A = this chain, B = another copy of it.
Amino acid sequence: MPTETALLKADFINPFVSSSLNVLQTMARVTPKVGKAYLKESRSTWGVVSGVIGMAGNKVTGNVILSFDQPCILEIVSNMLMEQFETISADVVDAVGELTNMITGGAKTQLGELGYVFEMATPMMITGQNIELSQLSKAPVVVLPFDTSAGRFVIEASFAPAKGAE
């Protein structure tokens, strides 16, 4: 059974990093700079809009959140949809859900090659900063920051050993 510490290791984190870089380059011609991972202390949403997805796995189960500051998501979605967005409209919120799907989907494929098999739920999107959002699981939440030329987004990943995992 993977320990919680194992989930902080590069093997488990790298698929989320490389999938993020790949999706953003392909979909929005944005090449973020990856920052240093840290543990989340607060129980609130980090950015102004967040995509949340449940990942149910054979070894570990948890949730992944993508959370964007406003300049960052407006740059990404304006590039993706080739139209200038200046507010967090419904189209921008939906794009956050699509990005959440694509980035976690890419990570899922890479994690599968490492023996972590996941079934994915459907993304939900939460609009608003500092919304109180907490996890029932006591597993640590690892935060990966990414800086674009316009702003920052973070990926928050929290996984605990799945029930019945070996």
Q: Which residues of A contact B (CB under 8 A)?
A: 51-57, 61-63, 90, 93-94, 97-98, 100-101, 119-128, 131-137, 158, 160
A124–B119 touching, CB < 8 Å: no
Contacts of A63 in B (CB 8 A): 54, 121-122, 124
B56–A119 touching, CB < 8 Å: yes
Can you list 28 A-B pairs with a CB-CB distance of less than 8 A? A52-B52, A54-B54, A54-B56, A54-B122, A55-B121, A56-B56, A56-B120, A57-B119, A61-B120, A62-B121, A62-B122, A63-B121, A63-B124, A90-B134, A94-B136, A97-B135, A101-B136, A121-B121, A122-B135, A122-B136, A123-B136, A124-B135, A125-B134, A126-B132, A127-B131, A127-B134, A128-B132, A131-B131
- Please give the count of copies of this chain that the complex contains: 2
Most B CB within 10 A of own CB, among A124, A131, A133, A137: A124
Provide the bound-state CA to CA distance between A108 and B42, in Å: 31
Tell me the smallest distance from the CB of A134 to a CB of chain B, in Å: 5
Contacts of A54 in B (CB 8 A): 53-56, 63, 120-122
Given contacts A101-B136, A119-B119, contact A124 B160 (CB under 8 A): no
Given contacts A62-B122, A121-B61, contact A134 B93 (CB under 8 A): yes
Provide the bound-state CA to CA distance between A134 and B50, in Å: 10
